A and B are shown apart, each in its own frame.
Chain A
Amino acid sequence: MTDRALAVVRAGALTTVQDLGRPGHAHLGVPRSGALDRPAADLVNRLAGNPPAAAVLETTLNGCAVRPRSTVTVAVAGAPCRVTVDGRPVAWGAPVRVPAGALLDVGPAVSGLRSYVGVSGGIAVEPVLGSRSTDLLSGLGPPPLTDGTVLPLGRPAGAHARVDVAPQPAPPAELVLRVTLGPRDGWFTPEALRTFVSRPYRVSPASNRIGLRTEGPALERARAGELPSEGMVLGAVQVPPDGRPVVFLADHPTTGGYPVIAVVRAADLAAAAQAVAGTPVRFVAVRRR
């Protein structure tokens, strides 16, 4: 192994390798996958001097710690957290130089859920169907990090950005998701449609990279029976038999058999990736542009 590598010292609750995902294979049952908070992943790549397609680390709740075997530039963004190098605090949301052998510790999220760690050169695990993303639903890509894993790094592409700190949106205190109704809103009663866009929901602790599950009033169907399996898009709001809406995120299945009442605008999904359990959720109906 070359010295262009990162040794994982503390993997954290769930840390995965993510990039732009593997769109274009849904017809084979392959989820899109990719970083859930895409703007945060883009930002850490820009700060570390990487192209947008470079693979980064996505942490969940309690960060991770890694030890690079060569001197690298890193940047941490997404959920705000304490970042240290060999125990000394360093900047969050800005490029930081980490000497070979030093310990980079990305602490627990102070607010929000997922922090992103960009490393100059990018994480260079073997791509699967053109992507290095870990796909938790279908098991494609590298497995989630475990203590002791060694991740290869690519060659740095360019100079890191010259910024002191990059502004980012704060994790949401209330998650407002703009939705366009359909394609299967006709499967629900008018009362259920009113409830969906007017009553508050909460983020369920059962949420994951596959879907943001919600707790709140159950949505009643106007028609019974099974919906034949059909293709699903990112942001689809599917309503399983318990009536609680599930917003499909990056690792969502490519087809499903429960009716999709609405679709969340792509621009609102980054906030969904940072909403902790219990966060209030409102679905707001908007017209198609």
Chain B
Amino acid sequence: MKVLPVGEDALLVEVSSGDEAQALHAELLRRRAEGSLSAREIVPAARTVLLDGLDSPARLAAELTAAQLPPAPPRARAVVEIPVRYDGPDLADVAAHWGVAEREVARLHSRTEFRVAFCGFAPGFGYLTGLPPRYDVPRRATPRTAVPAGSVALAGPYTGVYPRSSPGGWQLIGTTAAVLWDHARVPAALLSPGTRVRFVPVEQVGHS
């Protein structure tokens, strides 16, 4: 674990894997909840956790460097189920990358239990991990100027669902009617770091 100072009152804690970052994030949340850590923001990412708005970053840096963080036990949280139609325009490309039939993409994807590693890009956009590394896919060579809201997409080791229409370069494999972000709802985000997720295939409706 490496602790890098960020400006005057933040620290970036770097670990060696995404799993470690998720465990560290859970541990830091636990410490904040019990009152032994004061931080305005705790932001997990691919291999790091950012702590922002710290009272004494130098002291915490020394403490974290010396400490062995216990691997956090997975929290017993309910699995969020996201209904999905595997009808994305990049389904054939993804099938080709994986070396399987299109139908098999849907089967492999929907039988995987995902976990939200971190959020970013847009409110409610989660970076979901869970697929084995052999199913990593590159981003599209040319990003789309508008990806429709509800698109279920893949890039690198991640799966994500676009909360609203935006430009994007991920490979689109399906669509969902689930509402990823609604600020009138509590909580506003359907997915937050640590959430377990399953994609549930729904039958094609109508004659598309």
Contacts and interface: CB of A to CB of B under 8 A. Distances in A.
Interface of A: 23-30, 128-129, 138-140, 180, 182-184, 228-233, 235-236, 253-256, 260, 263-266, 288-289
Contacts, number: 111
B114 interface: no
B25 to A, nearest CB: 8
B41 A231 contact: yes
Main secondary structure of the interface of A (DSSP, over half): loop
Contact of A129 (B10, B58, B125, B183): B183
On chain B, which size bracket covers the interface? 35 or more
A130 to B, nearest CB: 11
Interface stretch (B44-52, B65-73, B94-102, B105-113): B44-52
B122 A263 contact: no
Contacts of A184: 4
Interface string B83-123: 00000000000000000000000000000000000111111
A265 B121 contact: no
22 contacts: A27-B44, A28-B124, A28-B188, A29-B119, A29-B122, A29-B125, A180-B7, A183-B5, A183-B6, A183-B12, A228-B46, A228-B48, A231-B50, A235-B7, A236-B6, A236-B7, A253-B121, A254-B43, A255-B45, A255-B119, A265-B7, A288-B8
Interface of B: 4-8, 10, 12, 40-50, 52-53, 58, 118-125, 127, 164, 183, 188-189, 192-193
Contacts of A23: 40-41, 53
Most buried by A among B7, B50, B125: B7
Nearest to B120: A255
Contacts of B10: 233, 263
A229 B192 CA distance: 16
B46 A26 contact: no
Contact of B6 (A30, A139, A233, A289): A233
A130 B58 CA distance: 31
